[in-house]
Structure 1
Amino acid sequence: MGPRLLVALVLLATACGTAGGGGNDVQGKTFTSTSVTEQGKPRPLVEGTKVELRFTADGRLLANAGCNQMQGPVKLDDGKLTVTDLSTTDMACPGEGLQEQDEWLSGLLGAKPSWRLDGQNLVLTGANTEMVLAPKPQAPLEGVTWTVDGIVTKDAVSSVPEGVTGTIAFKDGHIYVQGGCNSGSTDVTGADKYEVDGQRITFGSSLAMTLMLCSEDKMKVESAILDTLELGEVTFEIDGDTMTLMNANGVGLKLRK
């Protein structure tokens, strides 16, 4: 093969983007649509909506087109996006065209579209449709005050009592907690700093808290925070401006930036 032909092939491969492989480059990321075309012409989405695709670290796809939430196990082998057992919530979509848009997205995902990365963007291609999605910016774990938005017990999520604000912050290797009444941190004399390994946070010291007696609602949020952190190890998953913290006992928190 001559040098000119080799250069031409390299340029062609670069122009076409990276064909989808096993999906490691999209797992744990969320993408939002920037353009949709059908048969080469723009397909307008319902005003104020975008398609959002979230690929979880445990191999599921969560999809939304402005109304109902869809999800199912996903495989990304050989450049094909294959969703099995795609389930959806059954909310009544209030806006005109939202129900039809949900059905359109469900049909696209169910037809095993091709996928590839074009730089940072995800490109899905169906029989007559091409959709370009940009990665959604992720909030950082550290240096952010995360507010408790839900309390997780196994597979159930309960809401935070009205008027109660609990927060967690990860900063300079220490965890800082405000439970709505009492506060505390791992930043005590001789305390080990936490370590982040992938999506796992470990910390070797106990959380030192003040010990005021608070109202029942405040104590509920405080107890949920302490129960989540009691094992000295949690996993975290950040999706845009939200985060889920879970420990090995299935106890955890939903938090927002």
Structure 2
Amino acid sequence: MIAVAGAGLMLALTGCGDESSAGGSLKGKVYLSTAVTEDGKPKQLVPNSQVRLTFTDDGRLIASAGCNSMQSPVDTGDGKITVDREIASTAMGCDEPRHAQDGWLMKILQSEPAWKLEADRLTVTSGGTTISLTDRKSAEPDLVLDGTKWSLETVISNETASHQAGSGKAWITLNGDRVTGSTGCNELQAKVARGTGTLTFGEIATTRRACPGDAGKLEQTLLTTLKGDVSYGVDSNRLKLRAGGNGLDFTGTR
């Protein structure tokens, strides 16, 4: 669900300015935090969290600090990050430390922080707070499609994401023109052809173990999605497969 912090969301920001004085363009790039300091002292983020800033090609900033995702039109001209005062945010329930960290990041983004880009390193500064970030492609290079064990994480049904019972046991590995894996209940294998951004799965053969209840439902979902033409994309350690409004998200092991 998307909530808006304030009365409404501006559709656009004006005054693009010049990015060259700050080191280049941020558009189309994703940055991950490597360190945070406040008044010259290290600030520890919530364990297993980091700041993620995505500057989209269509002029938006999508940001997160470990729980909710927030977004706004963005102007990065004149060495400043300028967002709408009423940043849109998802409204997932977070524990108190991550909820507070979301608010901390939103406050920084709304303060028109300064930014500086040096090679693949981005520095964002607001008052006494400095966030050091690295281009995601340098910090977390994309895993190769072939040879990686992709473990099922999320099932997409009519664009609604869910973590189905037993999904952690399902996985696939692609090698050339073959795919092997497990539905979480039965082993699977099939031929697969490749196109630009697409995988075409042949008829999938499985072992014949009975799969009652949730295991059977998950197996049917997996086999139905891995059928015919499926678009795919690898982003860091994630493989996304999509067929119409349905899909599967996998996590690879580095």
Aligned counterpart in structure 2 of residue 244 of structure 1, from 222, 240, 243: 240
Q: Quick check: 1:137 aligned with 2:140? A: yes
Q: Which residue of 1 aligns with 2:91?
A: 89
**Residues 1:234 and 1:53: Cα distance change in structure 2 (over 3 Å):** same
RMSD, matched Cα = 3.3
Amino acid at match of 1:194: R
Identity %: 18
Q: Is 2:215 aligned against 1:218?
A: yes
Distance (Å, rounded) in 1 between the aligned partners of 2:25 and 2:219: 44
- In the TM superposition, 1:222-233 aligns within 5 A as 222-233=219-230
Q: CA deviation at 1:63?
A: 0.7
Match of 1:36 in 2: 37
1:186 aligns with 2:190: yes
Match in the other structure for 1:45: 44
Between structures 1 and 2, the one with greater strand share: 2
Unmatched segments (≥5 aa) in structure 2: 1-19
Does structure 1 retain, via aligned residues, the 8 Å contact 2:189–2:206? Answer: no
Q: How far apart, CA to CA, are the structure 1 residues paired with 2:26 and 2:55?
A: 14
CA distance in structure 2 between the partners assigned to 1:169 and 1:112 by the alignment: 45
- Cα deviation 1:216-243 (Å, max 9, x = unaligned): 32222222222323241223252x4444
TM-score (normalizing by structure 1): 0.69
Pick one of 175, 178, 195 that aligns with 1:174. Answer: 178
Aligned equivalent of 1:72: 71
Q: CA deviation at 1:193?
A: 3.3
* Residues 156-198 of structure 1, C-alpha deviations (whole Å, 9 max, x = no match): 22222248621122222433332123333333xxxx6324x4x
Mapped partners of 2:23, 2:68: distance in 1: 27
Question: Structure 1, unaligned stretches of length 5 or more?
Answer: 1-15
Alpha-carbon deviation of 1:71?
Answer: 2.0
- Please give the secondary structure, in 2, of the residue aligned with 1:193: strand
Question: Which residue of the partner structure matches residue 7 of structure 2?
Answer: none
5 Å-filtered alignment, 1:195-206, equals 195=195, 197=196, 200-203=197-200, 205-206=201-202
Query: What is the match of residue 121 of structure 1?
Result: 121
Structure 2: how far apart are the matches of 1:167 and 1:148? 5
Q: Please say which structure displays the higher CA radius of gyration.
A: 1
Figure out how many residues of one structure are paired with residues of the other and give that number. 223
Find the counterpart in structure 2 of residue 253 from structure 1: 248
Q: Give the 3 Å change call, closer, same or farther, for CA 231–91 of structure 1 in structure 2.
A: same
After the TM superposition, which of the residue ranges 70-79 and 177-186 deviates more from structure 2? 70-79
How far residue 33 of structure 1 moved from its aligned partner, in angstroms, is 2.9
Structure 2 vs 1, CA of residues 56 and 123 (structure 1 numbering), >3 Å: closer, same or farther? closer
- Decide whether the 8 Å contact of 1:17 with 1:117 is kept in 2: no
Moved over 4 A (4+): 56-60
TM-score by length of 2: 0.70
Shift of 1:47: 6.2
Give CA-to-partner distance per residue, 1:5-46, whole Å, 9 cap, x none.
Answer: xxxxxxxxxxx996242513x1xx4512323344xx235234
> Take 2:241 and 2:55, find their aligned partners in 1: how far apart are those partners?
14
Give 2:70's aligned amino acid. Q
Counterpart of 1:10 in structure 2 is none
How far does the alpha carbon of each residue in 1:131-177 deviate from its partner, in whole angstroms, 9 at most, with x for none? 11133414513321111122111232222224862112222243333
| Closer/same/farther in 2, CA of residues 108 and 152 from structure 1, 3 Å limit | same
Shift, 1:101, TM fit: 3.5
Q: Distance in 1 between matches of 2:161 and 2:25?
A: 35
Cα–Cα, structure 1 residues 52 and 201, in superposed 2: closer, same or farther, change >3 Å?
A: farther
CA distance in 1, matches of 2:153, 2:25: 36
Q: Who is 2:62 aligned against?
A: 61
